[in-house]
Amino acid sequence: MGYIAVRTSDFRLAYRLLLELKNRRIRCIQILPSDPVPSNVAAWMGSPSEVLMSGDPLGIAVTLDAVGHSVEQAIHRLRYSRPIRSLTFGVDPGPRPGIAWVGDGMTLGKAQLEGVDDTVDSIMRISRAIEHELLIIRVGNGSKTIANRIINTCVVRGLTVQMVNEARTSIGVPRHAHSSAALRIAHLSGDTINEKQKVRPTNGEIRDIQRRSRRHSLGRTTIPSTLARAVAMGRLTLDDAIRHHIGDFNDSIGNI
């Protein structure tokens, strides 16, 4: 495995890049913009103007507000020497969705997200850092309401999305290992969805949100079913629903 080089005269940008690379334990070197790029460097990073002026295909343009994204792109270049034809994401839907991404059958990564609403945004951020030709998003059907919300976002954005029978992914996976289930979902073909799905929360999903509201509010309240339904459909966050019910949620928690 080669190196990633930081090749810029911008001191602040160089500092941020080197710190990010070292935190991720990626082998890196720093060279001057006037220095030739060593043969063992898979990619080098510099300012947009420096990369543009160089005309070097190994260069990756970086701005201070997108260091993490550019480092992901460089890491992918380091580990995989050729563009990926098919990039597939698996999604295990739930209040904290698991996602996993696979390139041409090879596992590239997996993660646990903190909320439903940023699932597709997270997928798009990761996909932009990986050179690919075809993007497929496969969503498990285990939590129908949340799955349909994620699918609808994909349909609106014109993305290729499939619904996968999640029962085939649960064998041997611990109950809360959502990212591992997502990896199995990524490897299974499903039914392509081209139209928005109806979002109809079940009584069980509403009761689960009510239960989570009590835990999230440290036992101070349980939101009514009307608010729980709004949370399930993505119209309110759980914090917003608690705030609607008992007033300023953060102030109430702070006064305990």
pLDDT band at 252 (very low <50, low <70, confident <90, very high): very low
Say yes or no to pLDDT of 254 above 80.
Answer: no
Tens of pLDDT, residue by residue over 63-91, are: 998 888 888 888 888 877 667 899 999 99
Pair of tokens at residue 85: 């034809």
What is the four-CA torsion angle of 167, 173, 178, 180, rounded to 10 degrees?
-110
pLDDT band at 255 (very low <50, low <70, confident <90, very high): very low
Dihedrals phi, psi of 133, to nearest 5 degrees: -105, -40
- Give, in degrees to the nearest 5, the angle at Cα 79 between 74 and 81: 90
Q: What pTM did the predictor assign? A: 0.67
Tens of pLDDT, residue by residue over 103-123, are: 888 888 888 888 888 899 999
Report how far residue 195's alpha carbon sits from residue 226's, in angstroms, rounded to the nearest whole number. 27
Say yes or no to pLDDT of 131 above 90.
Answer: no
Pair of tokens at residue 198: 């109806």
Q: At 96, which amino acid appears? A: R
Question: How large is the greatest C-alpha to C-alpha distance in the chain, in angstroms?
Answer: 65
Tens of pLDDT, residue by residue over 133-181, are: 999 999 999 888 999 999 999 999 999 999 999 875 555 445 457 888 9
Report how far residue 33's alpha carbon sits from residue 46's, in angstroms, rounded to the nearest whole number. 8
Cross-strand pairs, 132: 84
Q: What is the pLDDT of residue 1?
A: 60
Pair of tokens at residue 133: 């030709």
pLDDT band at 237 (very low <50, low <70, confident <90, very high): confident
Q: Please return the burial class of 244, using the count of CB atoms within 10 Å of its CB with bins 0-12, 13-18 and 19+.
A: middle
Tens of pLDDT, residue by residue over 25-36, are: 899 999 999 899
> If you average pLDDT over residues 223-244, what whole number do you get?
88
Whole-number percent of the chain with pLDDT over 70? 92
Q: What is the pLDDT of residue 253?
A: 44
For the chain, the average pLDDT equals 86
Residue 178: closest CA among 104, 86, 116, 87: 116
Residue 84: closest CA among 107, 112, 116: 107
Q: What is the pLDDT of residue 256?
A: 37
Q: What is the pLDDT of residue 143?
A: 85
